[in-house]
Amino acid sequence: MTEPLVSLKHLSKFFSVDTNLFGRTTSVLKAVDDLSLDIYPGETFGLVGESGCGKTTVGKMLVNLYTPTAGEIWYEGQNLAKLSKKDRRHYYREIQLIFQDPYSSLNPRMTVGDIISEPIRVNKLERPDKIDDRVSYLLNAVGLSANSRNRYAHEFSGGQRQRIGIARALAMEPKLIVCDEPVSALDVSIQAQVLNLLSDLCDEFGLTYLFIAHGLNVVKHVSDRVGVMYLGRLVEVAEKRELYRNPLHPYTKALLSAIPVTNPAQRKERILLEGSVGSPIDPAPGCRFASRCYAKGDCVGCACDAEMPELVEVSPGHFVSCYLFDGE
Amino acid sequence: MPQTTRPSENSAPQSRGANVLLEVKNLSTDFVMNKGTVHAVIDVSFTVHEGEVLAIVGESGSGKSVTSLSVMGLLQPPGRVVEGEVLYRGQNLLKLSQNEMRGIRGNQISMIFQEPMTSLNPVFTVRNQLTESIRTHLSLDRKDTFDRAVEMLALVGIPSPEKRIRDYPHQMSGGMRQRVMTAMALSCDPQLLIADEPTTALDVTIQAQILALIGDLREKIGMAVLLVTHDLGVVAETADRVVVMYCGRVVEEVTAVELFERPLHPYTLGLLQSIPTMEDVDDDEPLYMIPGMVPNPLNLPKGCAFADRCEKRFDRCTRQVPDLYEAEGRKLRCFLFAPDHEEVRP
């Protein structure tokens, strides 16, 4: 088996919500809680979950926008936290982020050419006289004409802006791109264009993606492996086909069932979850999903309310965190 | 000149044989801007029958939201209805005075907006906002008004409603706020609910809850729903009939079942094919995509607005705008289905 490109080991990120008189934290928001994950070179790992489950926080920790509270991020066999500042800079160049909202993630006062060439200049990736060629090349790679460089972001539609964002990420010659819901703000017909562009670029530039999304249908199309998150915990990880054919965790099943069908003749009985996603602030001990779980009754004598179940491997490559599949 | 087939009055597929509740006739809405005039809605006609769910589908800029705002009389300048009629039970809403319209809006016709975050007033409690429409439209005393509000919150599935009614919007989650909006819209037992992207801002599991809720309430209250959405999945789940819009015009009108089984307009076909589906997990083919982009609304092409992106276009398409033809048991705006189209139909 190849070495993972990125390895997250027991990664946690807590935010302090409330402090007492003496500045000691009394209330903690556990955005990501003890999450371990390997991403292999060349693969697309889909990370799925509803809003507030911590998927974006994972992405932000990977690109060093957040510092983990606990745990380690290993990149190509090195612990990023242990590296010197200078070395770390080199690694972070290789991990780039594409944002969700193409309207707010591009500076309205910069031309497209400036937006894309800035990272090249700052990191001295190209000789100054070659920068223009590089910008044209990148614009062409994402399907925009080279003369768009003199225009401003507001002159472009949502799908084109997302392409500019992708070109900006590519400018750093990254190995790993964290795509944070790159298509959820786009129209259906444009979504397909951007998704196809991302998978073309993956082949062309040999990229690895961490693809973050809130629905399983988009992820299905681009991912090799999929991880499902619920309130800061990874509840199920499997190879794509395995996950869609044989979902095990009750939450994964509910998510899959919530996807609208595209054939009214097949309107189905779906698993409707009660209530909404709980609060990640001071979570109760036990399985995070327990309060909404419809399968809790099937598991007599389980410690659902007492202790968080471990992520166990039920079949090769298929991990699930639920007492129903604890193996005992 | 090609012969035009005008859709006859009663040609729309009747749903449950019910009466016509809302009839929109040749509605056109313009936005006059400094740079020119945007024809946001062009000659749109459709009917909603009692108890029916009609979906208007389109991408951003297709004019679907402007259509619903025009119907509600909520259009803000520079938007202006330039032509057409909106008949609600035979009464033209566009001719009503502000005061008369207020008697209908929120009472017989009500609306759910897209953004549950911005559509509620952050400085008033839910109680305050929810009782306002009940006070305005139903003559109930203070206590009954409060009870009614609590009852509505319970109906839309908010746990411990008598407590949550004292909350401010920011104390609630997105799904809860959307439920409050729904409760507000339903508090006066409307005959027609206009839901503009009711689930777009919500998570998938919450979306499923809200759709199930609207379906339930439709059964209970017997109201009709005009659902405005870009999400064909939502349409497949809820709608009886579908109107597909592109660049301000209706391009296809058909029953929901037929739309998904046999989409005929090239745009509808492309839209359906570009959705990642849950079936066929194995196929790693690239997604189908409609090439190109929606044209600039300030400068619509002379011919069919979709011609540039259409795989089946021929020279006639770029010269003139097709009419809405009656063909194949539905309405289609495409020369492929024109009665004088020579080619063999696919």
Please give, rounded to a whole number of angstroms, the shortest distance from the CA of B261 to a CA of chain A.
Answer: 7
Closest by Cβ to B209, choosing from A159, A220, A272: A272
The answer, yes or no, to whether residue A261 has pLDDT greater than 80, is: no
Domains and CATH numbers, chain B: 20-101+230-337 (3.40.50.300)
The answer, yes or no, to whether residue B232 has pLDDT greater than 90, is: no
Q: Which backbone phi and psi does B196 adopt, to 5 degrees? A: -95, 105
CB contact under 8 A, A214 and B206: no
Q: What is the pLDDT of residue A287?
A: 85
What is the tens place of the pLDDT at every residue in B25-77? 999 999 998 888 889 999 999 999 988 999 999 888 888 889 999 998 888 88
The answer, yes or no, to whether residue B172 has pLDDT greater than 90, is: no
Closest by Cβ to A258, choosing from B60, B208, B261: B208
Stretch A194-198: mean pLDDT, rounded? 89
What is the tens place of the pLDDT at every residue in A60-90? 998 888 899 999 999 988 888 888 888 888 8
Amino acid at residue number A69: T
Confidence of residue B344 (pLDDT cuts 50, 70, 90): very low
- Dist CA B164 CA B170 (whole Å): 12
Q: What is the pLDDT of residue B281?
A: 56
| Nearest by Cα to B306 from B342, B332, B338, B343 | B332
Q: What is the pLDDT of residue A229?
A: 92
- Other CB atoms within a 10 A radius of the CB of residue B163 amount to 11
Confidence of residue A52 (pLDDT cuts 50, 70, 90): confident
Distance separating the N- and C-terminal Cα atoms of chain A: 29
Cβ contacts (< 8 Å) between B230 and chain A: which residues? 187-188
Kind and range of the H or E element at B330? strand B330-332
CB contact at 8 A, A197 and A205:
no
Q: What is the pLDDT of residue B203?
A: 75
In the predicted model, what is the mean pLDDT of chain B? Answer: 84
CB contact under 8 A, B203 and A214: yes
Please give, rounded to a whole number of angstroms, the shortest distance from the CA of A131 to a CA of chain B.
Answer: 28
Cβ contacts (< 8 Å) between A255 and chain B: which residues? 204-205
Whose tokens are 């020119």? That residue is B36
ipTM value for the complex: 0.74
Closest by Cβ to A218, choosing from B175, B271, B276: B276
* Total residues found in chain A within this entry: 328
- Other CB atoms within a 10 A radius of the CB of residue A67 amount to 9
- Dist CA A311 CA A234 (whole Å): 8
- Dist CA A26 CA B268 (whole Å): 55
The answer, yes or no, to whether residue B117 has pLDDT greater than 80, is: no
What is the tens place of the pLDDT at every residue in A136-155? 999 999 988 888 889 998 88
Stretch B237-265: mean pLDDT, rounded? 91
- Dist CA B335 CA B326 (whole Å): 11
- Other CB atoms within a 10 A radius of the CB of residue B76 amount to 8
Q: What is the pLDDT of residue B279?
A: 63
Chosen CATH of A6-94+174-325 out of 3.30.420.40, 3.90.79.10, 3.40.50.300, 3.10.20.90:
3.40.50.300
The domains of chain A are located at 6-94+174-325
CB contact at 8 A, A98 and A174:
no
Rg (C-alpha) for chain A, rounded Å, is 21
CB contact at 8 A, A218 and A179:
no
Kind and range of the H or E element at B267? helix B266-273
Stretch A254-270: mean pLDDT, rounded? 75
- Dist CA B176 CA B161 (whole Å): 11
Lowest mean pLDDT among A84-93, A294-303, B10-19: B10-19
Cβ contacts (< 8 Å) between A157 and chain B: which residues? 293-294
- Dist CA A297 CA A233 (whole Å): 22
CB contact at 8 A, B260 and B236:
yes
**Which positions ≥6 away from A307 have C-beta within 8 Å?**
A285, A286
The answer, yes or no, to whether residue B4 has pLDDT greater than 60, is: no
- Other CB atoms within a 10 A radius of the CB of residue B140 amount to 15
Closest by Cβ to B287, choosing from A159, A192, A258: A192
Cβ contacts (< 8 Å) between A51 and chain B: which residues? 174, 203
CB contact under 8 A, B204 and A277: no
What is the tens place of the pLDDT at every residue in B296-323? 888 888 889 898 888 888 888 888 889 8
Please give, rounded to a whole number of angstroms, the shortest distance from the CA of A123 to a CA of chain B.
Answer: 34
Suggest the residue from B180, B203, B271 to mutate for an interface test with chain A (most A CBs closer than 10 A): B203
In the predicted model, what is the mean pLDDT of chain A? Answer: 86
Confidence of residue B6 (pLDDT cuts 50, 70, 90): very low
What pTM, to 2 d.p., does this model score? 0.80
Q: Hey, which residues does A29 pair with through a beta bridge?
A: A15, A281
Burial of B283 per CB tally in 10 Å (0-12, 13-18, 19+): exposed
Residue-by-residue DSSP string for B74-135: -PPTTEEEEEEEEEETTEEGGGS-HHHHHHHBTTTEEEE-S-TTTSS-TTS-HHHHHHHHHH
Instruction: Please give the C-alpha separations between residue B48 and each of A266, B45, B68, B146, in angstroms, as whole numbers.
Output: 24, 10, 12, 32
Confidence of residue B345 (pLDDT cuts 50, 70, 90): very low
Nearest chain A residue to B268, by CA:
A189
Confidence of residue A20 (pLDDT cuts 50, 70, 90): confident
Rg (C-alpha) for chain B, rounded Å, is 21
- Other CB atoms within a 10 A radius of the CB of residue B8 amount to 8
- Other CB atoms within a 10 A radius of the CB of residue B141 amount to 9
**A240 versus B286: which is more confidently predicted?**
A240
Helical packing angle, A188-205 and B266-273, nearest 10°: 50
Please give, rounded to a whole number of angstroms, the shortest distance from the CA of A159 to a CA of chain B.
Answer: 9
| Nearest by Cα to A121 from A108, A131, A113, A112 | A131
Nearest chain B residue to A239, by CA:
B281
The answer, yes or no, to whether residue B12 has pLDDT greater than 50, is: no
Nearest chain A residue to B233, by CA:
A260
Stretch B171-186: mean pLDDT, rounded? 84
| Nearest by Cα to A131 from A99, A171, A190, A81 | A171
**Which positions ≥6 away from B144 have C-beta within 8 Å?**
none
CB contact under 8 A, B205 and A273: yes
Q: For chain B, which residues lie within 8 Å of any Cβ of chain A, measuring from their own Cβ? A: 59-60, 159, 173-176, 203-209, 211-212, 230-234, 236-237, 239, 256-257, 260-261, 270-272, 274-278, 281-282, 286-290, 293-294
Please give, rounded to a whole number of angstroms, the shortest distance from the CA of A187 to a CA of chain B.
Answer: 6
CB contact at 8 A, B71 and B60:
no
Amino acid at residue number A35: L
Stretch A222-229: mean pLDDT, rounded? 91
Kind and range of the H or E element at B251? strand B249-255
The answer, yes or no, to whether residue B7 has pLDDT greater than 50, is: no
